[in-house]
Amino acid sequence: MSKLVTIYGGSGFVGRYITRRMAKAGWRVRVAVRRPNEAMHVKPYGVPGQVEPVFCNIRDDASVAAVMAGADAVVNCVGVLNEVGKNTFTAVQSEGAGRIARIAAEGGVATLVHLSAIGADADGESDYARTKAEGEAAVLAAFPSAMILRPSVIFGTEDQFFNRFAAMTRLGPVLPIAAGGTKFQPIYVDDVAQAAVAGVLGQSEPGVYELGGPEVKTFSALMQDMLKVINRRRLVLPLPNFAAGLMAFSFDLAQSASFGLFTNSLLTRDQLKSLQSDNVVADTAKGISDLGIEPVSMGSVLPDYLWKFRPSGQYDELTKSARHLRGDA
């Protein structure tokens, strides 16, 4: 019988790519999620019955253990960018990560891969960074041979980075951003998945790996690159800290006042704190090259999914050509 991997958060942005690669490798894949009915898109990644979404609440020991039963390997992709209800940073990224690692160790699971983030820091300014660090510490305490992956900002078809800001360009001539000078090292989502699979298959050494792509750019420069891809002219306006702080406070207040009916997916005060630090691979860290992976560049991927934000969508190049023929440009 083929081996079984349980992937917590296996239907999410990064998780679905790991799920697809594990299914291609011939493994049975158990995708542990809060809403299995919303994760049916992962089933076609394998033959019938090979990939199965199952319910799991990572805040509960019994639930975590049930979906891990019989697994040869475990991957944890669960994380939150904004606290909503009981899914707080502590509950998910600290306690949840530790729970998965502890139960994996108790159950004799052979391999554990944990997805963290560059910037994880026990003394960090943001709750996000601190709980990521707490989660890493809990994982290594329970499962010392775990592989921990710390990616920079991740891009890909379903990302919430370039897609979000590209959508904002439809609202007006100005694109406001916070912390425009902060540096990022964007990494392609399937490169992250490839790194995780290398860990599951035992093709890499355990330890902490920081994952970044081939380019390091400021937030402002990334937005300029995005604008070129979507063929739009917008003023990229880095906001002063006080203005960005006021905006984040307003969005957080709206979420609280609406009792969760409005979810702040724009900018939180905690995210603003995280944005004050560069998000790049440390010089002394093990990186993606240590895994034998050559990272994909942004320029080779962004046009494949950001075309829908161009003025004429998929017909934008055709429209521009027609203008040239008419002498309009």
On whether residue 238 sits in a domain, the answer given is no
Tokens 């158990």, located at residue: 30
The answer to whether residues 53 and 75 touch, using CB atoms and an 8 Å cutoff, is no
For residue 192 the two structure tokens come to 């992250």
On whether residue 284 sits in a domain, the answer given is yes
User: Cα torsion for 151, 152, 153, 158, to the nearest 10°?
Assistant: -20
On whether residue 126 sits in a domain, the answer given is yes
On whether residue 143 sits in a domain, the answer given is yes
For every residue of 183-204, DSSP letters joined together read EE--EEHHHHHHHHHHHHTT-S
On whether residue 309 sits in a domain, the answer given is no
Q: Give the pLDDT of residue 16.
A: 98
Distances (CA, A) of 195 to 22, 71, 113, 187: 12, 20, 10, 11
- What pTM was computed for the model? 0.94
For every residue of 121-175, DSSP letters joined together read -TT-SSHHHHHHHHHHHHHHHH-TT-EEEEESSEESTT-SSHHHHHHHGGG-SEE
For residue 322 the two structure tokens come to 């027609």
The answer to whether residues 263 and 84 touch, using CB atoms and an 8 Å cutoff, is yes
Q: How many domains does the chain have?
A: 1
The CATH number covering residue 137 comes to 3.40.50.720
On whether residue 328 sits in a domain, the answer given is no
On whether residue 176 sits in a domain, the answer given is no
On whether residue 202 sits in a domain, the answer given is yes
Low-confidence ranges of the chain (pLDDT < 50): none
Q: Give the pLDDT of residue 313.
A: 75
Answer positive or negative: Cα dihedral of 37, 76, 118, 184: negative
For residue 2 the two structure tokens come to 């083929």
From the list 230, 251, 247, the residue with the least C-alpha distance to 167 is 230
Q: Give the pLDDT of residue 312.
A: 79
The answer to whether residues 4 and 70 touch, using CB atoms and an 8 Å cutoff, is yes
The answer to whether residues 10 and 42 touch, using CB atoms and an 8 Å cutoff, is yes
For residue 199 the two structure tokens come to 């860990």
Q: Give the pLDDT of residue 305.
A: 97
Q: Give the pLDDT of residue 9.
A: 98
Question: Could you list the residue range(s) of the whole structural domain that residue 99 is in?
Answer: 4-156+185-213+278-296
Q: Give the pLDDT of residue 316.
A: 61
Q: Give the pLDDT of residue 320.
A: 60
